[in-house]
Each structure stands twice: as structure tokens, then as C-alpha cells.
Amino acid sequence: MSFESLKGRKILVHDMCLRDGMHAKREQISLAQMVKVATALDHAGVPMIQVTHGAGLGGNSIQHGFAPHTNEAYISAVAEAVTHTKISVLLIPGLGTMKELQSAHECGARSVHVATHCTEADTAQQHIAYGRKLGMDTSGFLMMAHLNSPEGLAAQARLMESYGAQTIFVTDSAGYMLPDDVHARVSALRAVLKPETEIGFHGHHNMGMGIANSLTAIAAGASRIDASVAGLGAGAGNTPLEVFVAVCERLGIETGCALFPLMDIAEEIILPMMDHMVRINREALTLGYAGVYSTFLLHAKRAEARYGVPARDILVELGRKKMIGGQEDMIEDTALTMAKERGIKVSHAA
Amino acid sequence: MTKIKCALIGSGNIGTDLIYKLRRSEYLEPVWMVGIDPASEGLKRAAAMGLKTTAEGVDGLLPHVLADHIQIAFDATSAYVHPENSAKLTALGVMMIDLTPAAIGPLCVPPVNLKQHTAKLEMNVNMISCAGQATIPMVAAVSRVQSVDYAEIVATLASKSIGPGTRANLDEFTYTTSDALVRVGGARRGKALAVINPAEPPMIMRNTVYCLTDDAPDEAKITESVLAMISDVQKYVPGYKLVNGPVFDGNRVAIFLEVAGLGDYLPTYAGNLDIMTAAATRTAEMFAEELLNGTLKLPQPQESLA
């Protein structure tokens, strides 16, 4: 595959540090850190950044962890700090609601990813319609896209488009897809969606494919790329934004972002924020290899510490049981069941 | 033995499953199925099962209520049309069991508060949601031991078991269930999460219940209370099962449940459908029993509307 033909294409780069990165930080990014990162990204010309709890609006919960501040507080603080960058939020129906979308909008959010599992687009109808009603730039976000066929995914994309979504994202939540998988899915969407409907790609770097998959998506017709400075995100992180921008410069793809400042943000702001090195470690690679939701990583490690079942074994079992995003409760449940089966004594378990 | 005659409004998954449940009841008899689409599969199925049908909505049923002695109606339509359906039918002296998230009447979870509702004549009771029916008994089991500051539940449902109505109105499901964790479960604050999983073969309904207690949890008492409540629910939902827990982590109590259905209309994975229809049937039976033995009397229909 040659990417030479992409010269001159204009791409909207969308940073995920302050949303997907919340997962990697166990939801513990402070208000001051949010403002610092957002201000720096704004100065570096990043046109859009996502700001919320890792699980999006409504994410503060026992299931997904509690951030030190409300989504409203984060969004308001960032909205005050930035001048050009548009703020987006994530909304997963079943967790977040339209009430929360309304208050995010009041705080300054102007774009929304309405996210469903790749086969359940019809749970997003009211939220997509409401995003449009609020005048927000509204995307449908089809998660775990490797679990649906290209044709099946295209049909789901059409549903979201019919509800009013202006962009449809192919979302590789597990970091499982290889470039051919991405090409097939983005092409299938491009073939059925209206010409004015944009296509986006959201990658995870669990198999080291973040950049290659994003370029492949662009070649197949995508015009929006989710990425994250220094890759701060769930699993092995998102497509590293500064690397992606550097590759785009070499290929002549226009992002409007300033490369050197982004490199500095990665090195000087994001890297020191990391509690652990976001990299393709054993468990993150297991996610990509087995096709498991990237956010499960740290939950599985916590279950390992508590119940004595290796995180990799838990992740493989979750993949086998076809668990999807949002089922974080099943990590502890699966660890408890596996501990019982292996005769591991679990204190406090009835 | 005489049975109380019932109408089912809404010919989707819930309405159809209710036919099976009511036909097994000692006290209830399904007589009418109300739909809005003459070509719908649900109405054809109901007719084939011997029910009278109308495709003209509740208005198509009203002229027959008195002649056919309809005394209880189950509404499985949507939160948006339920208030009107309820107003029209209660005016004719029909008791409403509301299976939509409308919740205009008191919320009912049979093992927790059904007796309170039958003690006084409630003309409209709401069944909350499948997730509410599956999880509120557990919240109540903890809160009857000690005070619960916050209850959070996660319901995971098989994609094939969720009809278009629920899909299009997930927010209503969230609000109604969250509210009921407080009002019926007894927690001070509540939050409900729903996940729809498309795995094949379909996964059995799973529910996780988290409670944050104010003081350190009394592990022995909570475990005993939870096990007792599980067997109370099993009386009308045999597939209700504790998979793991209760596990205790500081003040957090976690309970992991599975709900398998009876496999009446949808296969056993659809425990969410079953627990809703079984709870509604049990609720109606309690009222029916009292109507039949004369301890409860429904009001006379208002002539002007009849």
C-alpha cells in the first residue's frame, strides 16, 4: 500500500489525552493538569480535544471509578483556558444521559462522540438527535469495531447517520485491528454513507498499529483521527498524536498542528504525568491479541492483586466470554469464579 | 374457578411473554391483546393463542372493557403513551400494571413492597424495569441490615432480548431504575448502568449490585439477608441466582447475580424479560386474589366515560 497519494489531504486531529488518558491515570487527572495540558494543546494548534471521565459523561461510578472532580468542573475549567480548540465529550448511552449532555454543553462542550458497541447503534438515537438539537458537532462512535463485519458495521453507521450523526467513527477499542481490517471497514462505510458524512478512526496501540491503521483509514476515506499525545490512553494507549503528526508532515497530510510543541508536550508534560509507562506491555499486548476492551487492563491488574489470578488469564477469559466495554464488573466476577475453580482462597468472599 | 380477566397492551416481547405467564396463573386469565399495527406479528401470535385482538390501541379495547369484565390491564407500551392509556382504563375501573418506565403510580418490587400496595387500593402500580426488578431486592437486603449511602447497579442484557422500545428510550430506563434504587431499595443515592451485549450464543442476563454502607458492613448479617432475599425472589423467578459474593471491600458490598428466564416466549437467556413479566404477574395475582375473595373492590366505572 502506498500513502503517497494522501499528499494535500486535510485531516482533523482530535486529542484523547484528557478522556481516554483518564483510564490510564485511574481517573485521577487533576483540574490543574487538565488546564495545563489543554492550554498547551491549544497553543500547538490541536483543533479538538476530548475532556471527560474515561467512561465519558455519567462515568463517575463504582464500576468505572470516581474522578476527583465532576465532568462539569473539568469541562468548564478547560473551556475557560482554551481559545481555539473545540472541546468534545464522550457519551455512552446506558451510562450517560441527555441531561448530562445538556450540562456538558452548558459548560462549553461543542462536540460529542455518542458511543455504542458496534452492533447496538439503535441505542444512540435519542442522544445523537439531542446532540444535533444542541447544535453540537455530533459523531457516532462504533466501539469494538473488529467484532462486526465491514457490511454489518456499515449498516450500523447508516443508522447513526439517519439519527443525525455528522461523522461516524470506526473505533478499534481493543487495538486488535490490522490495516486490512481497517481498510475493509472504512471502505464499507464510505461506500454507503452520504458524501458529506465524515468518517473517523479511533485506534489503540496494543498491537503497535496506531499510526499504520490511522493512515490506512485516511487512505480509505477517513478525515478525522483520534490520537493522544504520548499515547496517554487505555491499554497501550491511543495512536500517539505527535508521532502521527510527524508522519503526516512527511507525507504532506495537513493537520494544522505544530509538531515540535507537540513533541515538547509529550516529553515535558504528559510523560511526567504517567503513573506507569503506557506501553505495549504483556497485558496490553494480550488485549490486542485477544481482542479485549482496552480499559479492562488496569481493572484486571487490580483483580490479580486481590484474588491471585494472573491478569493475562483473566483478560483471555473475558475475551472468550465475549465481554464488551462497560462490563468492568465482570472482571471481578470472573476473577472470583476463576479463583474458586483454582482453589485459591479468597478472603471476604462468601 | 373464576379468574380475573386481563388485557395486555403492547404486543411486543413483554406482552407476548405475559400471555404465557397469565395462562399458567390460578387467578388471572389473558383475554385481550391491544396493538397498533394490524400487520404486527405480536397481534397474530396473540390471536393464534386465543386472545381477542385490536390494532386500534387502547381506544379499540375501551368499548369491550365492561362487557368482557376486564379488571386488570398490563401496559407494555412506552413511557410516552402510558399516562393516557392509564387514564382511559382506570376511569372504567380497570387496575393498571405499568411495565413502562412512566412510573406514574407507586413503584413495586414484589418481595420488597408488594404487601404495602395491596393493603391499600392502588389503581396503577409501576414495575420499574427489568434491571430494577433484578437488583432492588439486593439493595433492600443490604439496607434492611444497615444504612446504605449509595447503591449502583450494572445490568448486562443480551442484545436479542431488548426490543426497539427499550433501545430507543435508554435514558428513561436509567432514570426510572436509578430513582427506584432509592425509593424502593432504601439507598440514599442510586445509579443504574445498562450494557447490551450481542454475544452469540446470547449471554444470560447478569446484574452486579454495589452498595456503599455508611458504617463498616456487618458481613455475616448482610450475607444472611442477601441469601434470604435470593430465595424470596426465586419463588417467582426460579432462574435468579447468586454467582459470586457478597464480597466486601471496605464499605463496598458487591453482589454478582445471574437471571435465567423460564424460556416461555424468548429463550432462557432473556432473564430480563422473565423477571419483569414474572414480577408483574405476581403483583397482579396478589390483587386478583383479594378481588376474588372480596377483600378488595375496584371502583365503579365513571358512567360519563363508559
Does residue B251 share a domain with residue B158?
A: yes
Across A146-168, b (16+ Cβ under 10 Å) vs e yields bbbebeebbbbbbbbbebbbbbb
Nearest to A117 among B164, B198, B256 (CB): B198
Q: What is the pLDDT of residue B304?
A: 47
> Model ipTM?
0.93
Does residue B263 share a domain with residue B226?
A: yes
Domains in chain A (CATH in brackets) are 7-273 (3.20.20.70), 295-341 (1.10.8.60)
Nearest to B247 among A61, A126, A348 (CB): A348
Q: Which residue's entry shows cell 414474572?
A: B278
Does residue B95 share a domain with residue B53?
A: yes
Does residue B109 share a domain with residue B163?
A: no
Query: A93 at the B interface (CB within 8 A)?
Result: yes
Nearest to B210 among A62, A147, A350 (CB): A62
Query: A102 at the B interface (CB within 8 A)?
Result: no
For the sheet with B187-197, list strands across it: B187-197, B148-158, B205-213, B252-259, B240-249
pLDDT, tens digit (0-9, with 9 covering 90-100), for A179-199: 999 999 999 999 999 999 999
C-alpha cell at B117: 400496595
Interchain pair B198, A337: CB under 8 A = no
C-alpha cell at B104: 406514574
pLDDT, tens digit (0-9, with 9 covering 90-100), for A34-56: 999 999 999 999 999 999 999 99
Please give the angle made by the CA atoms of B253, B259 and B262, to the nearest 5 degrees.
Answer: 160
Could you tell me the CATH number of the domain that includes residue B107? 3.40.50.720
Please give the angle made by the CA atoms of B102, B290 and B235, to the nearest 5 degrees.
Answer: 70
* Alpha helix stretches (DSSP H) within chain B: 13-23, 41-48, 57-61, 82-90, 110-119, 130-143, 164-168, 170-183, 219-234, 271-292
Catalytic residue annotation of B: 130
* DSSP character string of A36-51: HHHHHHHHTT--EEE-
Beta carbons within 8 Å of A249's beta carbon, 6+ residues apart: A255, A259
Give A102→chain B minimum CA distance, Å.
13
Instruction: Give dist(CA A91, CA B136) in Å, integer.
Output: 26
List the domain range (segments joined by +) for residue B237.
130-270
Scanning every residue of chain B, which has its alpha carbon at the shortest distance from the alpha carbon of A119?
B198
Helix (H, G, I), strand (E, B) or coil at B15: helix
Cβ-contact B93, B30 below 8 angstroms:
no
Across B259-298, b (16+ Cβ under 10 Å) vs e yields bbbbebbbbbbbbbbbbbbbbbbbbbbbbbbbbbeeebeb
Does residue B70 share a domain with residue B45?
A: yes
Interchain pair B191, A324: CB under 8 A = no
Does residue B266 share a domain with residue B279?
A: no
Does residue B142 share a domain with residue B260?
A: yes
Does residue B279 share a domain with residue B256?
A: no
Does residue B90 share a domain with residue B9?
A: yes
Between positions 120 and 159 of A, the ones with CB within 8 A of B are 120, 122-123, 125-127, 147
pLDDT tens series, chain B, 306 aa: 789 999 999 999 999 999 999 999 999 999 999 999 999 999 999 999 999 999 999 999 999 999 999 999 999 998 889 999 999 999 999 999 999 988 899 999 999 998 888 777 789 999 999 999 999 999 999 999 999 999 999 999 999 999 888 898 899 989 999 999 999 999 999 999 999 999 999 999 999 999 999 999 999 999 999 999 999 999 999 999 999 999 999 999 999 999 999 999 989 999 999 999 999 999 999 899 888 888 888 887 655 443
Mean pLDDT of A245-267: 98
Q: Which residues of B make CB contacts under 8 Å with A? A: 150, 152, 154, 156, 159, 164, 167-171, 174-175, 191, 193-199, 203, 206, 208, 210, 212, 219, 223, 243-249, 252, 254, 256
Scanning every residue of chain A, which has its alpha carbon at the shortest distance from the alpha carbon of B211?
A62
- Comparing CA positions, the residue from A112, A124, A131 lying closest to residue A50 is A112
In this model, does residue A271 exceed pLDDT 60? yes
Interchain pair B193, A337: CB under 8 A = no
What percent of chain A stands above pLDDT 90? 94
Does residue B194 share a domain with residue B77?
A: no
Instruction: Give dist(CA B60, CA B74) in Å, integer.
Output: 15
Interchain pair A337, B243: CB under 8 A = yes
Beta strands in chain A (DSSP E): 12-15, 48-50, 86-91, 111-117, 137-143, 167-171, 198-202, 224-227
Does residue B242 share a domain with residue B150?
A: yes
Helix (H, G, I), strand (E, B) or coil at B277: helix
Query: A1 at the B interface (CB within 8 A)?
Result: no
| Cis? peptide before B63, omega within 30° of 0 | no
Scanning every residue of chain B, which has its alpha carbon at the shortest distance from the alpha carbon of A334?
B244
Instruction: Give dist(CA A285, CA A272) in Å, integer.
Output: 23
* CB burial of residue B96 (10 Å; 0-12, 13-18, 19+): buried
Does residue B77 share a domain with residue B174?
A: no
Instruction: Give dist(CA B279, CA B98) in Å, integer.
Output: 11
For chain B, the domain total comes to 2
- Comparing CA positions, the residue from A318, A300, A319, A320 lying closest to residue A310 is A300
Could you tell me the CATH number of the domain that includes residue B151? 3.30.360.10
